[in-house]
A and B are shown apart, each in its own frame.
Chain A
Amino acid sequence: MNDDRTIGDTGRQPSVEERALRREELTAITFVEIVDTLVDDFDVIEVLTVLTARTVELLAASAAGILLADEHGHLRVMAASSEKIQLLELFQLQNDEGPCLDSYRTGTVVAHPTLGPDSPWPRFAAESVASGYPSVCAIPMRFKERVLGCLNLFISRPVALPPTDVALAQALADVASIAVVQDQATRLAAVREGNLQHALTSRISIEQAKGMVAEYARVDMDQAFARLRQFARNHNRGLTEVAQSLATGELVIESVAGPRRPRTVPPGPAS
């Protein structure tokens, strides 16, 4: 049997009241800890890892993991309370079958306290029992209507998680969901800002390149633009990329503008 829990190792058996009090305290500390990490530049993996660690401390579970669906709907392990290979394999397996996949698909809690040959997921059940986890529970991670993934709990005895534990696990999963959604929003914002910046500077570089070609070949802006487009087409390159290469000097102006033409009207009284 694997039992990775870290509390309750005091030697003396604590009383029921002591345990309840300790758990209440730990729960409060955990939520404060998680909320604290959600300020500003938080690392979502770090938050989820702390969450899985606290989950096994607080609940009657031996191991916990968080699986999130990627853009293709594949479940990926984002954090786990332990790096044991068997545990990670159990997470992986669930892209084919298992409580997490069912929980992700249905958005509901999926539990099975007595895994065996006649469980709904024969392959997963066999692996889980062999790894020392005869009971499993998957809590959906939801944000509004979206299901993001699941909090997966493994129990080292063939018993169901008590309802209070399930409720607490759902609360932890909800906090994790907020962290995940916030992180996704920040990432998306950075990508969109980058796209706009890139488009803005690209657009500007084209105007600059027009000016460079116009001056070099002594043509007007329309002709300069035509030469830029012609070069880009002939060499199968993007207009922006040609313009930026001109600006950096990677591309010599002559290759785009043609030979340099001297000024036709020299300044000064000589003209």
Chain B
Amino acid sequence: MPVSGERSIRLAVAFARGMSRTPATGWCGVGVEFLVVSGVGITVMGGGAAGPLCVSDPSVAILEDAQFTVGEGPCPEAFLSGVPVSAASFGQETARRWPSFAPLAVANGMGAVFAYPLASAGANVGVLSVYQRSAGSLTDGQHADCLTLVEVITETMLSLQDTAPPGELARELDDAVAYRAEVYQASGIVAVQLGVPAAEALLRMRAHAFAADQTLDAVASAIVDRRLRLDEPAPGVPPPGFPPLGFPAPGFPTPGFPTPDGGGRS
């Protein structure tokens, strides 16, 4: 992507300086400052996996988590399509497009969302999400700045990974997994309990979280603490048959939101 204009170059340099002084968890704060937007999230994605590298505030965390839980929203859409995805306002169109994400975004006070694939020279490594509390498009300048940040963040992530021992995730990027370590541990537990592959166990957990109106993290925590087993009925879980929704987005790496019988009952 072309880095056009002196302003974007100045911003790239300033951002790179900010990043060099900040651990990866602080990049989103640097992003908010330089883009002059309400919120920023950076997600590492690849090989069907996704992890948040950072979020600028708790409401962004909720929205990024929700997209991870149900596999629907601007973030997976931008990653899969490889082009920026935007909603300058939330209305009927976004409600149809993202039936789970859109209402949650509104409930968390968001007016617009913009997702940019972290892609450079053909390498696609995640998504930069930008949130605005008021509706409206980004200015041309902000859009150009986002494209510049995409270049800087992508190159920084790849450069950090270049220095990691072969096969290991760079220490600076480890938060992307460490943040959801319990989710993955729980999927291993459920895999043994149900005798299914870990990927399917994760789908079962997602279904359970959705049916019980909990976050995936809360479900994972309960499983790891052995307060919850998915091979037994748990109190407070609605019976199977929650409304069929049109997600996840076609071809999302965790395909097929499970059928209602995946809701944790055997």
Number of interface residues of A (CB under 8 A): 34
- Tell whether, in the assembled complex, residue B169 and residue A203 are in contact, meaning their CB atoms are under 8 Å apart: yes
- A210 to B192: give the CA distance in the assembly, Å: 11
A189–B188 touching, CB < 8 Å: no
- Complex alpha-carbon distance, A197 and B48, angstroms: 9
If A199-B168, A199-B173, A214-B188 are given as contacts, then 12 extra A-B residue pairs at C-beta distance below 8 Å, sorted by A number, are A193-B46, A196-B161, A199-B164, A203-B169, A207-B185, A207-B188, A209-B188, A210-B185, A211-B189, A211-B192, A212-B198, A267-B232
Question: What's the Cα separation between A197 and B51 when bound, in Å?
Answer: 11
Expressed in whole angstroms, the minimum distance between the Cβ of A232 and any Cβ of chain B is 12
Cβ of B125 to closest chain A Cβ, rounded Å:
5
For the complex, give the distance between the alpha carbons of A197 and B161 in Å: 10
With an 8 A cutoff between CB atoms, is A39 at the interface?
Answer: no
A177 within 8 A of B: no
Does B147 touch A at the CB level, under 8 Å?
no
**B117 CB → nearest A CB, Å:** 12
CA distance A94 to B115 in the complex (A): 52
Chain A, residue nearest B183 (CB): A207
Interface check B24, CB cutoff 8 A:
no
Closest to A197 in B: B46
Known: A211-B191, A212-B189. A221 touches B224 (CB 8 A): yes
Q: Is the CB of B198 within 8 A of A196?
A: no
B157 within 8 A of A: yes
What class of interface size applies to chain B in its complex with A? 35 or more
Q: Is the C-beta of B58 less than 8 angstroms from some C-beta in chain A?
A: no
In the complex, how many angstroms separate the beta carbon of A211 from the nearest chain B beta carbon? Answer: 2
A132 to chain B, nearest CB (A): 43
Question: Which of B170, B177, B188, B229 has the most CB atoms of chain A within a 10 A radius of its CB?
Answer: B188
Task: Check A221–B168 contact: CB distance below 8 A.
Answer: no
Complex contacts, A211 vs chain B, CB 8 Å: 184-192, 198, 224
A208 at the interface (CB under 8 A from B): yes
Distance, CA A209 to CA B184, complexed state (A): 9
Which positions in B face A, CB cutoff 8 Å? 44, 46-49, 51, 120-125, 157-158, 161-162, 164, 167-170, 173-174, 176-177, 181, 184-193, 197-198, 224, 229, 232
Query: Which residues in B have their C-beta under 8 angstroms from that of A216?
Result: 192
Q: Are B185 and A214 in contact (CB under 8 A)?
A: yes
12 A–B contacts, CB within 8 A, in A order: A189-B122, A192-B123, A193-B46, A196-B46, A199-B167, A199-B168, A200-B47, A202-B168, A203-B169, A207-B188, A211-B184, A213-B188
Is A198 located at the chain interface by the 8 A CB criterion? yes
Q: Is A236 part of the contact surface with B, judged by Cβ < 8 Å?
A: no
Q: Is the CB of B44 within 8 A of A196?
A: yes
A255 surroundings in chain B (CB, below 8 A): none
Expressed in whole angstroms, the Cα–Cα distance for A201 and B47 within the complex equals: 7
Which residues of B are found within 8 Å of A192, using beta-carbon distances? 123, 158, 161-162
Contact: B49 with A204, CB < 8 Å? Answer: yes
A204 to B232, CA, bound (A): 26
Name the distance in Å between A59's Cβ and chain B's nearest Cβ. Answer: 33
Q: Are B122 and A203 in contact (CB under 8 A)?
A: no
Decide if A200 touches B176 in the complex (CB within 8 Å). yes
Query: Are A186 and B46 CB-contacts (below 8 A) given A192-B161, A210-B188?
Result: no
Known contacts A201-B46, A238-B167; A208/B177 CB under 8 A: no
| Measured CA separation A157–B51 after assembly (Å) | 65
CA distance A221 to B164 in the complex (A): 25
- For B224, the chain A residues whose CB sits under 8 A away are 211, 221
Within 8 A of B (CB), among A162-201: 185-186, 188-190, 192-193, 195-201
